[in-house]
Amino acid sequence: MASSANQAVAAANPDTTRVVDSKKVWTTLITNTKYLTGLLTLDHSLKKYKSAYPLVALYTDTFPPEGHKALDIRGIPKKHVDYLLPSVQKDFSQDPRFYDCWSKLTPFSLVEYDRVVQLDSDMLVLQNMDELMDLELDPPSMAGKGDRVFGASHACVCNPLKKPHYPKDWVPENCAFTSQHDTPDDAQIHGAPSSFGLGIPNGGLQVVNPSGEIYALILDQLSKDTAIDNYDFADQSLLGDLFSGRWVSIPYIYNALKTLRWEGVHHQIWRDEEVKNIHYILSPKPWDEKPGEEAEESHTWWWKTNDDRLESERSRGINDGF
């Protein structure tokens, strides 16, 4: 197993030199400039709430020169990662965003760091959440065989928009957050058991102790045709299946899907003042809208932070349109 793990890491991460001094980092995947404004505002929000840890942008070959320039002039560290795809291509034409999502599994290969917390670029930090860097997880030496392989919040499987291509078992009765409606105080500090309902983590935030052995297990799973056929939600489907019931469920406040706030979804547990990190899933993204024409109230929070970022950047002579 050790040799296959070493080979897996060597292929995915040939240069294990740290791009920052810290052994614990936030990372976010960037493949194009469509999400770049989100990444820049995410970085600003981490710094605004005084995170002790840097954000590293994980970029693929598809990321263009103007994107690199935007990161460089802002001093955001970056690292190249391969665009990860299963051996048999799955059709995500109904949700093209999922083609990029397999690459969100690469943090497991970043063995130069002791802890990686992967964030989606459509997130906004609202409070310091550095405690995730100390969440108890299995050490890499357990090679993915323990009960605390990684940390994440549950995926919401309610399908509130009633998308017809979503699996038929994505209903409120199977949603972990539904199980917490009667205990909202507890929902702020504990996640429902990772095995509850469909047992699928949301891939937007993953707390990881990088491990060649775990990454080798992931690559092996990616090579199985039958497994991929059933992974309607890419990376998070794979993780929920491969490590079923063996991941640490953290409360929604660390990956607060904006839809949870909607009346009739999971408003019973949502508390604005408790949320540490909001996730702007689905379209439109806040930056796709015009200020003052936001689709929902939570988008105004993003605009406020974005305006703060732009003002700070202008004071430093940065004004590149991102």
Residue ranges of the domains in the chain?
2-305
- pLDDT per residue as tens digits for the range 256-300: 999 999 999 999 999 999 999 999 999 999 999 998 999 999 999
pLDDT tens, position by position, 147-193: 999 999 999 999 999 999 888 999 999 999 999 999 999 999 999 99
Q: Which of 39, 122, 28, 151 is nearest to 79 (CA)?
A: 28
pTM (2 d.p.)? 0.93
Contacts (Cβ under 8 Å, ≥6 apart) of 62: 31, 32, 83
Question: Residue 178 in contact with residue 158, Cβ under 8 Å?
Answer: yes
Both tokens of 175, joined, read: 């949603």
Q: Do the Cβ atoms of 31 and 63 come closer than 8 Å?
A: yes
Domain covering 2-305: architecture = Alpha-Beta Complex (3.90)
